[in-house]
Amino acid sequence: MSHHRLIVRSQEKRKCFCFVLPYSFSFCHRTMKILVAVKRVVDYAVKIRVKPDKTGVDTQNVKMSMNPFCEIALEEALRIKEAGFAKEVVAVSIGPSQCVDTLRTGLAMGADRGIHVEANSSFLPLTIAKILRSLAEVENPGLIFLGKQAIDDDCNQTGQMVAALLGWPQATFASKVVLDNDKHVATVDREVDGGLETLSVDLPAVITTDLRLNQPRYATLPNIMKAKSKPIKKMTLEDLKVDIKSDIEIVEVTEPPKRKSGVIVSSVDELIDKLKNEAHVV
Amino acid sequence: MTRAVLLRALTKNKFVASNIPRSLSVTNLSRCISTLILAEHESGSIKAQTVSTVVAAGSLGESSTISLLLAGSGSSLHEAAAQAASCHPSVSEVLVADSDKFEYPLAEPWAKLVDFVRQRGEYSHILASSSSFGKNILPRVAALLDVSPITDVVKILGSNEFIRPIYAGNALCTVRYTGSGPCMLTIRSTSFPVTPISADSQSKKATISQIDLSKFKEDSVSRSRYVGQSTQDTERPDLGSARVVITGGRALKSVENFKMIEKLAEKLGGAVGATRAAVDAGYVPNDLQVGQTGKIVAPELYMAFGVSGAIQHLAGIKDSKVIVAVNKDADAPIFQVADYGLVGDLFEVIPELLEKLPEKK
C-alpha cells in the first residue's frame, strides 16, 4: 500500500518535471553552463628535446602548463559568466593525475568546478572528443569552449570533432564572441585566411578560440587559495563508456633537419651582393 | 629433431601462406588508391593550395585516381570547375555540388556533403589543404566517419605513412594510419610545390560531373548562418604562396613605419608578413601573421626586419630557402636560422635596401 503510494507520487513528480522543462528552457541563459576543455602540455617557452630512442619528446622533469589556447577558452567562458550570461563554468581535463594541477589553475582563474577524467595513456583527438561528448550528455552545457589547437600535437581537431559527434554547430578560430541569450545565438568572428568571417550559431554550440580572442587573467593569491576548496570530480573512462580508438600509430619522432649555419654580413652592399651572386634570389 | 624440423616447416608454411594474401592485398590497395580532395575555390578559380594538395595526392601511390570536389553555387562555381578540370594532369574527375546550401563554407553542410559524396564512391583517401577552410571542415567529416585524421602532412612516405610536424615544428612525427575507414589528411601546401605543367599535358581535361543532391539530407533547420566577411584587399601576392616574403616585427614601432616593409615587398614583388607582436600592436591585420598560429610560409627569400625569432614564429618560416635577418640585437635567436644576418638599425637598412636593390617585376 505505502509502496503503491510512493510510486504514484514519483510518477506525479515526473509529470510535474515535464511541465517544468520548457519553462526552465526559456530561461536557459540564467542557468546556462559552459564546459571548457583544458589540456596540460609542455610549457610554450620550453625548448623541447626529442628522445634519443625516437619514441617521442622528453616530458620528464619539464615544465608543464595549461595549453595557451585553453587559457583563452577559459578566460572567455569566465567573461561570459561575469557578464551574466552563464551560471557556471566547468573545466575538464583528460589525462594523468597531474592534470589536477592544470584544473586547479583553471579554478584559480575562476572556474566553478573541475572534472578530471583520469587516463594514463595519451589519446588521439577523436577519443578525447568522444569523452567530451559523453560529458556534454551528462552536464548539458549550452556552450563548449576549447582552444583551437594544443601546442604539443598541433592537431587542431578536437573541437570540430566534438561538434560533429554532438551534431552541434561549430565556430572555430574565434577572435570575438557575442552572445544573444534571448535568441540562443552566438555571433562569432573567425580568423580565416584572408581576413575575418562572421558566423552566427544556435546554442548549444562548440567554439574554439584563437590567440586574439582575449588576454587571459592571472590567478591572484586569494583566488589560488580559494581554488583549493573548489570541487574536482574524478571520473574514469569506464564511467563514461567511451571506446578508445587508436587508428594512428606513431612510427618515430625525430628532430627536424638543421639549417646550415649562416653568415653575418657587415653592410647592406654586402647583403645585396650575397643575395644576387651567391643565393641568386634577387 | 624431426618434430622441430616439422614445426619449423609448418610455421614457415604458415608464414608463407599468411604472407601471400597480405602481399596481394597490399598491391591491391596500392592499385585502388582513390582520393577525394575537398577543393577550395574563389571568384571562379581554384586556389593554389588545392593544386598543391593534388600534387600530394599524386604521391600516395603509383596508379591512383584523384577526384576534386567543388561545392558552391552560381556561375563562379562552374568557372572554377572548368579550371579545376585542367589544373593538373593527375586530376581524373571533377565533382560539382551546386546548391545554395554551399554558398558559404559552413562546416556543418560541407562536412555532410563530403560524407555524402564518400558514400557514392569508394575512396581510400580524403584530402584537404591545411588552410583555415580545410582545418575547419575535415576533422568534422572524420568524426562523422569515426576516423582519426592527420593534420599538416609535410611528407608522404607511402599510402598510409606520413610525416607531420609537432611542437611548433621542433619535432617531426612519422605516423602510420591503421584504421579501416578512408585515410584523411590535411596537406601543408608549401611542402608540395606545384611544378610548371608542360603544354601538351595541360590540354588533358578531366571529366566534370554534377552531383545529384536530391538525396542529400541536411538538418531541416540550419543551425549556423554566414553573416559576413571582411577581407583585406591587396594587390600583392598571397602570403602563403609568395616567392618573396618581407616580414616586420614589433621594432617597426608604428603603422606608418610598417609602410617601409610594404614598399620593400612591392619592390621585390613579394608579400608582407608580420610577427604576432606586430599584429597585436595593431600595425597590420592579423591575416598577415606568420608563425605556428598564423601562416606557414616557404618562400625562396624570406627577409625579417626587427624580428627576434620566437619559437612560434620560426615554426612558420623554417622551410624558406633563404632567410635574411636584420636586427639591432646581435643575440636575437633569428640569427641562428638566418642564412644572411645583418646587425643594424632597420630604419637605416630598409631605406638603403630600397635604394640599392635592383628593380623587379
Residues B252 and B163 in one domain: no
In a domain, B5, yes or no: no
Chain B: give the shortest CA distance to residue A149, in Å. Answer: 9
- Dihedral sign for Cα atoms in the order B118, B120, B125, B130: negative
Distance of CA B71 to the CA centre of its chain: 18
**Is A170 close to B132, i.e. CB distance below 8 A?**
no
Contact at 8 Å (CB) between A39 and A147? yes
**Is B171 close to A160, i.e. CB distance below 8 A?**
no
In a domain, B39, yes or no: yes
**Is A169 close to B223, i.e. CB distance below 8 A?**
yes
**Is B107 close to A160, i.e. CB distance below 8 A?**
yes
The answer on whether B323 is annotated among ligand-binding residues is no
Q: Could you say which of B151, B335, B338 has the minimum Cβ distance to residue A154?
A: B151
Q: Please check whether residue A244 touches B, CB under 8 A.
A: no
Residues B151 and B45 in one domain: yes
Gyration radius (Cα) of chain A, Å? 24
In a domain, B291, yes or no: yes
d(CA A21, CA B77): 46
pTM assigned to the model: 0.86
Q: Is A32-240 a CATH 3.40.50.920 domain?
A: no
Question: What are the residue boundaries of the structural domains of chain A, listed by start?
Answer: 32-240
Residues B167 and B103 in one domain: yes
Q: What is the pLDDT of residue B360?
A: 61
Where in the sequence is the domain holding B190, given as residue range(s)? Answer: 34-196+203-210
Last residue of a domain, one of B167, B187, B210: B210
Question: A266 burial class (0-12, 13-18, 19+ CB within 10 angstroms)?
Answer: exposed
pLDDT in tens, chain B (361 residues): 445 544 444 444 444 444 444 444 444 444 589 999 999 999 899 999 999 999 999 999 887 899 999 999 999 999 999 999 999 999 999 999 999 999 999 999 999 999 999 998 889 999 999 999 999 999 999 999 999 999 999 999 999 999 999 998 999 999 999 999 999 999 999 899 988 776 666 567 899 999 999 888 876 567 999 999 887 666 778 888 889 999 999 999 999 999 999 999 999 999 999 999 999 999 998 889 999 878 889 999 999 999 999 988 998 998 899 999 999 999 999 999 999 999 999 999 999 999 999 876 4
Contact at 8 Å (CB) between B60 and B172? no
The CATH number for B275's domain is 3.40.50.1220
Q: What is the mean pLDDT of chain A?
A: 89
* Cα-based angle B243, B249, B255 (whole degrees, multiple of 5): 100
Residues B148 and B40 in one domain: yes
- Give the best residue of A49, A64, A143, A156 to mutate against chain B (max B CB count within 10 A): A156
- Give the best residue of B339, B345, B361 to mutate against chain A (max A CB count within 10 A): B339
Q: Could you say which of B132, B240, B318 has the minimum Cβ distance to residue A173?
A: B132
- Dihedral sign for Cα atoms in the order A222, A224, A229, A233: positive
The interface predicted TM-score (ipTM) is 0.88
State the helix-helix crossing angle for B107-120 and B132-145, rounded to 10 degrees: 60
Q: How many domains does chain B have?
A: 2
- Interface size, chain A vs chain B, as Cβ–Cβ contacts under 8 Å: 250
Q: Which residues of A touch B137 (CB under 8 A)?
A: 160
**Is B324 close to A275, i.e. CB distance below 8 A?**
yes
Residues B192 and B54 in one domain: yes
Residues B59 and B160 in one domain: yes
Residues B311 and B188 in one domain: no
**Is A156 close to B177, i.e. CB distance below 8 A?**
no
Q: Which residues of A touch B321 (CB under 8 A)?
A: 279, 281
Chain A: give the shortest CA distance to residue B179, in Å. Answer: 5
Q: What is the pLDDT of residue B240?
A: 81
**Is A126 close to B311, i.e. CB distance below 8 A?**
no
Q: Which residues of B touch A248 (CB under 8 A)?
A: 148, 150, 175-179
Question: B333 burial class (0-12, 13-18, 19+ CB within 10 angstroms)?
Answer: middle
Residues B251 and B335 in one domain: yes
**Is B167 close to A276, i.e. CB distance below 8 A?**
no
Q: Could you say which of A47, A200, A268 has the minimum Cβ distance to residue B353?
A: A268
Residues B157 and B290 in one domain: no
The answer on whether B202 is annotated among ligand-binding residues is no
- Give the best residue of B136, B221, B352, B360 to mutate against chain A (max A CB count within 10 A): B136
Residues B145 and B263 in one domain: no
**Is A155 close to B151, i.e. CB distance below 8 A?**
yes
In a domain, B126, yes or no: yes
